[in-house]
Amino acid sequence: MRDPVVGEKLDQYELQALLARSGMASIFRAMDGFTGATVALKVPHVQLEADVVFAQRFEREEQIGQKLDHPNIVRFLKPREKSRTYMVMEYVEGKSLRALMKGKPLPTAQALDVARQVCGALAYLESQGVVHRDIKPENILLTASGQVKILDFGIALAEASRRLTWGALSNALGTPDYMAPEQIRGRRGDIRTDIYALGMLLYEMLTGHLPYDSANPRALLRAKASEEPRPPSYYVKDFDPSLEAIILKAIERDPRHRYAAAAELCRDLSDPSAVAARDPALGDSRRRARVRARRRTIASALVVAVLLALGMLVWLSNRLSAPASPRASPAVERR
């Protein structure tokens, strides 16, 4: 057996184009020979099919996907028969949220619309006992009409399933920028893990930044586990205080302080202006983050002041210890 290529048929599907290729699988656009519908096929690399744990994880992704039915989640389809391991999904014509942002903030109305759709999907997943665990801009597609479609349930977790470990996946259970602190510590996570990731998405959509900006992945993970996030107002002056409170509650380092259910976050996102009146305690996350930001600013200023003082002392020391310049010799009197 070998990896399939464009132009070949795989059971009832004619492979038309290679859409993406990762270290574990290839995704093809294909045509269903029975219905004429365009679909997407995810086919694992042949050398991985012999790995029992990988095969079980791949099968779990398909099983989780096939039991889901929500307008903001990509639909998994059932082929009539399969001659090898692969999964079939609806083909979505759209653009990833990453491509849409292009490193810049989105208009507030658009960012909130995306967040509300993702939140609705998370509430549905919660009702099904499923945690996605890899919510990030690359896994969110937007159609031309603005409809959100969540993709990639490769590391999703069903509450009733047992834990599987596989060497090639053990270091990739999430994406550092969007991983919750409990994921960093190796815990399985629950709906609050996905809520954290959505909070990070909303932060990024509205500011063009993330609250932790270390270029070193290990330093980033350490910071997320031990430091308070910068508030959105650190990057955007006059940031809406209600939205800031919502975001900071969603990305609390301690999951006990986050929204306990996706429905609670959906409620606040539906009317951010009413948040302060409805839940005065919501401002706690905002106050902690702002205090932390002030401390960080003061600490930075103190470091600069100390460095300047040391520089001045070195300059004065060099100045005082320099040998005096010899005086010019008087001119020799001519006789």
Quick one: which H or E segment has residue 18? strand 13-21
> CA-CA distance, 266 to 264, in Å (whole number)?
5
Structure tokens at 22: 């990762």
State the pTM of this model: 0.81
3-state DSSP call for residue 40?
strand
213 counts as catalytic: no
Q: Catalytic: which of 32, 134, 194, 268?
A: 134
Strands of the 13-21 sheet, one edge to the other: 9-10, 13-21, 25-32, 38-44, 87-90, 76-77
Strands 130-131 and 157-158: antiparallel
> CA-CA distance, 116 to 148, in Å (whole number)?
10
pLDDT in tens, the chain (335 residues): 899 999 999 999 999 999 999 889 999 999 999 999 999 999 999 999 888 889 899 999 999 999 999 999 999 999 999 999 999 999 999 999 999 999 899 999 999 999 999 999 999 999 999 999 999 999 999 999 999 999 999 999 997 665 544 334 433 456 889 999 999 988 889 999 999 999 999 999 999 999 998 888 889 999 998 999 999 999 999 999 999 999 999 999 999 999 999 999 999 999 998 886 666 666 555 555 554 545 444 544 454 455 566 667 666 677 666 555 454 444 444 43
Cβ proximity of 120 and 265 under 8 Å: no
Specify the residue for token string 């996946």: 169
- Delineate the domains of the chain, giving CATH numbers in brackets: 9-90 (3.30.200.20), 95-292 (1.10.510.10)
